[in-house]
Copies of this chain bind each other. A is one copy, B any other.
């Protein structure tokens, strides 16, 4: 490995995307920034054996949160992403982690934001969001009409695949592709010509991109790993479970089929207790750990 001439100091930070689902709403933990809200962040120090431990440490110190499930998401290192307090020309490397927690009370200086306030085009539970056809599709069409012929074709293909246009199917997992397309097309606040004119609530620097990455990853993972249970209490009804999954996927699921999937796969076991609801009381369940041995890809949502 040769050390190039253009070496530069590198600043490394850890960013936490802490996710919870409360009452059908997926929420992400934000702290107040100078201007826009931002994700909680910290730096690894010499005493932290691993990056993940560093993250857990500062989540506890800064926000009093004991994180459960934690997974590394992505490392962001573009040149244009230094905050205003960073030395010019320095590259900031941000290692983003996804953490799943149960709902908790909001903490001082921080608050939960609805993920779908940040990314409104991602929530299809109440049907196709109007913002798609009203603003996004026309703007993408304009964006795709620019450039050389080859470039126009490439842009149109990207837009079609990401947003399920021209006969393509909407793929819930492509959240990042969608965000980046909107960014390039100037439709999200951080990149919009006039501040405040963008779609969805803006966040500092590229933090909304990180949330989009997290949502996409989680939507994928839910179909083959039992991660949802990290967001639920010890025991729960099948409808509660379904609501959390729907909140993550951003689409409704067929109730009977969901039940068949989850029970048939042996993902849950009945506790024997009943929980009073506003209708007929529901049986409560808990996660059934043995499923990890029985199935290679125990997911709580259909693959499609």
Contacts and interface: CB of A to CB of B under 8 A. Distances in A.
Interface of A: 1-8, 10-13, 31, 38, 40-51, 58, 62, 72, 74-75, 77-80, 89, 91, 93, 95, 157, 160-161, 166-171, 292-297, 303-304
Contacts of A295: 169
Given A157-B293, A292-B161, A75 B51 contact: yes
B10 A12 contact: yes
Contacts of A292: 157, 161, 168
A13 B8 CA distance: 11
Contacts of A166: 293
B40 A1 contact: yes
A261 to B, nearest CB: 15
A1 B74 CA distance: 19
Which one of A8, A75, A292, A297 has the highest number of Cβ atoms from chain B below 10 Å of its Cβ? A75
20 contacts: A1-B38, A1-B40, A7-B43, A8-B45, A8-B46, A10-B11, A10-B12, A12-B93, A46-B79, A49-B80, A50-B77, A51-B77, A51-B78, A72-B74, A77-B95, A166-B293, A167-B293, A168-B296, A169-B295, A296-B304
Nearest to A39: B1
Contact of A93 (B49, B78, B93, B169): B93
Contacts of A44: 8, 10, 77, 91
A49 B89 CA distance: 11
A4 B58 contact: yes
Contact of A161 (B41, B95, B171, B293): B293
A296 B170 CA distance: 7
Contacts of A74: 72
A41 B50 CA distance: 21
| 3 cross-chain pairs, A with B, having the tightest CB-CB distances, nearest first | A6-B45, A51-B77, A10-B12
B1 A91 contact: no
Nearest to A10: B12
B12 A12 contact: yes
A292 B293 CA distance: 34
Among A79, A89, A168, A169, which residue has the most Cβ atoms of chain B within 10 A? A79
A161 to B, nearest CB: 6
Contact of A1 (B41, B47, B294): B41
Nearest to A89: B46
Nearest to A289: B157
A224 to B, nearest CB: 9
A47 B294 CA distance: 51
Contacts of A51: 75, 77-78
Nearest to A96: B75
A294 B40 CA distance: 39
A112 to B, nearest CB: 18
A233 to B, nearest CB: 22
Nearest to A292: B161
